[in-house]
Amino acid sequence: MKTVLFEIPDFTLIVDRERGRILEGTRNGHALLLPSQQAFSLLLRHRSGDSALLRESDFEICRYADGVFSYEKCASFPEITVELTVRCSPRFISFTNAVAGVPDDWALEWIDAPQVTVPKDRTLFQPLYDGLLVTEPDRRNHTSWAYHPIEFTKRGQAFGSMFPGRCMMQFMADYDDREGVFFAAFDRQRIPKAMEYEPLPGNAIRLSMQTFTGCGFGAGYTTPFEYVLTGFSGDWMYAASIYREWYESQAAPRSPLPAWMEKSPVVVIYPVLGTGLDHGKHKLKPNCYYPYGKAVPHLKALKQKFDSPVMALLMHWEGTAPWAPPYIWPPLGGEDSLAELRDRLHAEGDLLGLYASGTAWTQTSSISDYSMVEKCAEEGLEKYMLRGPHGEIDAAVCNGENSQRLGYDLCLCESWSRRQIVGEMAKVAKFGADYCQCFDQNNGGGQHICYSQKHHHPPVPGPAQTESVLQLLREIRTAVRKSGSDMALGCESSAAEPFVDDLPFNDARPNFALKHGLPVPAQSFVFHGRTLCFAGNQCGISWIVKTGECPENILYREAYAFNAGDLLAVTLKENGRIHWCWCAEWDEPEPDQDSIMTLVRNLNAVRKQYPEFLLHGRMIEPLQPVRAGTWTMKLTDRELSLPSVLHNSWQAPDGRRCQIVTNYLAREQTVTVGGQTHKLPPLTAIVLPS
């Protein structure tokens, strides 16, 4: 077999000269890559909606010259040619691809190249739900989140790990305790693409950056950015630092964060209807927090115990129906009723936040009798919805008879769709809310993909998907300013890369990552100080964690948020009592109240004392190694052995650095930081200057 060698100081790549497949990648003689089964795959989409999948092996001829692998003579599409170009720079081996000769009735939907294969017996970083470490990749094979290429959303099937959305960044990494490989797309357009891994038979995992082109019928395609590979020594933080360096080299200057973040409010999350779940027709009745003013005594008590201002963040307040987008206004009970809570909060220096539920369309509520069926039919509104390749229409997120609603997703490339959302956000801002989580259920702020041939975008997904979300955010920002408001916006999960400057405050979801592996705060590592999260409503933890068998899990999760630089948050059950998470029924046994309140108070005192690190600073690799004990989190399907203390290191804008070590357990612990031994009091954090 003839091969081609591509070499840079940190990485050596060997490629099959006859087929263009990656054979081997090494650093310092340490093998990092396995042979790939294909050099590329691509999908063509016909005007009819049918598709054709082509792989490198479908092309009879491959020629190589000067870093370019050229493919031709595909039996089913003889006109199509593909080029994969490889070049070396001082730091990266870079790849681009080009496709020509696409027939007039076909569009190139996506291409997945280069195809990188890594071993299963190392640690894989995926930028899913803020950041995820995978050490058991085969676990996904027999689950609802089994690998498949990203495609039109289907109810009952996981959509997949797409950027921008559930994946916040455009890089993956795979490493052991010696060496690692960094694989990224340095794409300034932030084009939709998979950040996926496919477990293969044996010891192999294929990494996928399936990239949507946005091509028209009969159009050729050339990658408008470079995919890059390099080697490194370190862990996910080192890989994230490589990506952050690229991101900051071309990012706009930071926008100021909302001024109220300086006070480090604790977010207090609760519904005004129901007892902890959304489900069931006509089952959500007013609770102890409705009318809205009934929550004030509980909020005051928590404010005193936390020694901090609070943000009341309400669910089930919509006057239409709970979680029934896009229409949310006026509030349940009318504006005057909610205004009482707003005014009493503001009088005490506290804040009002409201959940919304993204860019979906509700036909009927699965909770109440609310219906838009007649309006949709009379006005022909289905024409504005996301469509599949054959014109099909569906939605997967919180959509179902036993879920929150039955409906669809709006296509944001359509101005009518954006106007509906902008109009509702303008009403919320004019009312005087301080924060609206307008993109709840749009993880990361992204949207799903659309194939309509009648919308204002190409017939296959691509850059327009990202551009239309940015356009919507610009329009919301303009409407909010016109209302005289500085209301902050946010999304479910941390904000994905294209949207970090528009979504400064977001509902973290590392709890979702627990289903797949171990969450790590990679999004915060890259973007902290530009956008922040709060600890989140931790939706569904009671389905993932055996809360009663490891009750300290709520303390771990709060400390995890603190160490990620997030603002702290609690979710309430009745009468101001803190519960495990959202979606835990109120009749479930609750966590110990004193320990969680003490931890929140102590950690938030550190946040308020050190905003230069925890609000405006940037996360850095650990200044010193930390040695401590372990604690076991008992999940419904396995157990995780975790450190009994958490730590992170930070750098302030003026260059000062510190390491913060957190004891989240209700007992004193002895830890070693570098060569120094420290006794950490229970439920507190210490700040160690550089």
Q: Is residue 329 part of a domain?
A: yes
Task: Give counts: helices (H), strands (E), the chain.
Answer: 12, 44
Q: Is residue 292 part of a domain?
A: yes
The alpha carbon of residue 427 and the mean position of all alpha carbons in its chain are separated, in whole angstroms, by 27
CATH of the domain at 505: 3.20.20.80
Q: Give pLDDT, residue 403.
A: 84
Give me Rg for the CA atoms of the chain.
25
Q: Is residue 401 part of a domain?
A: yes
Provide the angle, in degrees to the nearest 10, between the axes of the packed helices 415-431 and 335-347.
60
| Residue from 9, 7, 26, 6 nearest 17 by CA | 6
Average pLDDT per block of 10 residues along the chain, 690 residues long:
96 98 98 99 99 99 98 98 98 99 99 99 98 97 91 86 98 98 99 98 98 99 99 98 98 96 99 91 95 99 99 98 96 98 99 97 95 97 98 87 90 99 98 98 96 98 99 98 98 98 97 95 98 95 96 99 99 98 96 99 99 98 98 97 98 98 98 96 97
Q: How many domains does the chain have?
A: 1
Q: Give pLDDT, residue 143.
A: 85
CB atoms within 10 A of CB 649: 22
Q: Give pLDDT, residue 540.
A: 87
| Residue from 359, 500, 498 nearest 419 by CA | 359
Q: Is residue 352 part of a domain?
A: yes
Could you give the CA distance from residue 155 to residue 242 in angstroms, rounded to a whole number? 37
Cβ atoms of residues 87 and 94 within 8 Å: yes
Structure confidence by residue, pLDDT tens digits, 243-295: 999 999 999 999 999 999 999 999 999 999 999 988 888 899 999 999 999 99
Query: Sign (positive/negative) of CA torsion 456, 458, 461, 467?
Result: negative
Could you give the CA distance from residue 615 to residue 436 in angstroms, rounded to a whole number? 20
Q: Is residue 11 part of a domain?
A: no
Using CB atoms within 10 A of its CB, is residue 638 exposed (0-12), middle (13-18) or buried (19+)? exposed
Q: Is residue 160 part of a domain?
A: no
Beta-carbon contacts of residue 273 (< 8 Å; ≥ 6 apart): 284, 285, 286, 287, 290, 316, 322, 332
Beta bridge partners of 24: 14
Q: Give pLDDT, residue 1.
A: 86
Beta-carbon contacts of residue 380 (< 8 Å; ≥ 6 apart): none
First-to-last C-alpha distance (Å) of the chain: 53
Q: Is residue 427 part of a domain?
A: yes
| DSSP conformation letters of 559-585 | HHHHHTTPBPEEEE-GGG-EESSTTS-
Q: Domain containing 415: what range?
A: 265-618
Three-state secondary-structure class, residue 100? strand
Could you give the CA distance from residue 317 to residue 6 in angstroms, rounded to a whole number? 59
Could you give the CA distance from residue 530 to residue 253 in angstroms, rounded to a whole number? 9
Could you give the CA distance from residue 327 to residue 420 in angstroms, rounded to a whole number? 8
Phi, psi of 45 (to 5 degrees): -120, 125
Beta-carbon contacts of residue 573 (< 8 Å; ≥ 6 apart): 275, 276, 579, 584, 586, 590
| Residue from 263, 178, 170 nearest 225 by CA | 170
CB atoms within 10 A of CB 336: 9
Q: Is residue 411 part of a domain?
A: yes
